[in-house]
């Protein structure tokens, strides 16, 4: 497969290979994915003609797809952290209500685990007679579960001082609800900034799609994909676009963490 007809499939394959290489390190299928990615990359490079412009298109497309994969993964991680924070808040409320009603801690933890399965380490530590606050601290390492440190502190203080655990967790749950309300307001304000950044990043592509044939004899896609200067402009533009999106996401994530 030679010529420009083979450039786009090869570039897409190279981009998919780069995306497979960027899979999380914790994935159990990391090694097979990397092996498949290398095979795809070798096939994609081998399918190109000696024209250096084809290699440049391959590099630019691969980088663009990889940047898109990273941004999508970051958004999924943020949404998963939000869901986990909501489940933690609901689990704290269940724990406080069950303990206040006179249920033992083990039964209350069993009930709370139905709301948030991430409490399995805490329940296991309680059933084995291990350090329950330490298990709460272990759970807090997950993204979105940082507030579990407050539950660990309340559990430890209650155990050492004899203060009712239900009352202590009730106060923690009330504080988490207030913090959650503030966080939701901040998230709604940041959503508009994120949407504006995505719109600005998509505007150049929309302009090319809409105005590509507006001027007779003009060929913006031919310039971008068919000349070294155009490929350089395309690469720099995509790089700046992804850098801007990543910067906005980093600022928004930092603001959310401070709430």
Q: What's the number of CA atoms in the CB half-sphere (13 Å) around residue 240?
A: 8
In eight-state DSSP terms, residue 259 is -
Distance CA 30, CA 212 (A): 41
Distance CA 220, CA 234 (A): 11
Residue 168 clears pLDDT 60, i.e. is over it? yes
Nearest to 211 by CA among 222, 219, 199: 219
Helix (H, G, I), strand (E, B) or coil at 196: helix
For the stretch 99-137, pLDDT in tens is 888 888 889 999 999 999 989 999 999 888 888 999 999
Dihedral, 8, 12, 228, 50 alpha carbons, nearest 10: -70
Q: Where are the domains of the chain?
A: 86-181
For the stretch 121-130, pLDDT in tens is 999 998 888 8
- 57/44: higher pLDDT: 57
Residue reference for tokens 């203080």: 157
Distance CA 179, CA 112 (A): 20
Distance CA 111, CA 114 (A): 6
pTM of the prediction? 0.71
Distance CA 25, CA 227 (A): 38
């Amino acid at each position: 497969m030679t010529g420009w007809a083979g450039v786009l499939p090869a570039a897409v394959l190279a981009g998919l290979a780069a995306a497979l290489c960027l899979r999380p390190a914790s994935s159990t299928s990391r090694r097979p994915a990397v092996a498949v990615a290398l095979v795809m990359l070798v096939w994609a490079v081998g399918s190109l003609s000696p024209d250096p412009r084809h290699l440049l298109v391959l590099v630019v497309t691969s980088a663009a797809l990889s940047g898109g994969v990273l941004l999508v993964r970051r958004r999924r991680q943020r949404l998963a952290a939000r869901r986990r924070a909501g489940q933690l808040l609901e689990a704290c409320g269940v724990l406080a209500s069950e303990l206040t009603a006179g249920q033992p801690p083990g039964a209350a933890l069993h009930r709370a685990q139905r709301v948030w399965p991430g409490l399995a380490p805490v329940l296991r530590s309680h059933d084995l007679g291990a350090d329950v606050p330490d298990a709460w601290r272990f759970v807090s390492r997950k993204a979105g579960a940082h507030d579990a440190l407050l539950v660990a502190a309340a559990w430890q203080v209650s155990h050492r001082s004899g203060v009712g655990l239900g009352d202590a967790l009730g106060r923690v749950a009330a504080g988490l609800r207030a913090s959650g309300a503030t966080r939701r307001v901040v998230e709604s304000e940041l959503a508009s900034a994120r949407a504006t950044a995505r719109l600005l990043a998509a505007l150049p592509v929309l302009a090319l799609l809409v105005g590509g044939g507006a001027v007779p004899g003009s060929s913006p896609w031919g310039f971008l994909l068919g000349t070294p200067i155009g490929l350089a402009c395309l690469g720099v533009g995509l790089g700046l676009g992804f850098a801007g999106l990543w910067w906005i996401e980093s600022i928004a994530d930092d603001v959310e963490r401070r709430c």
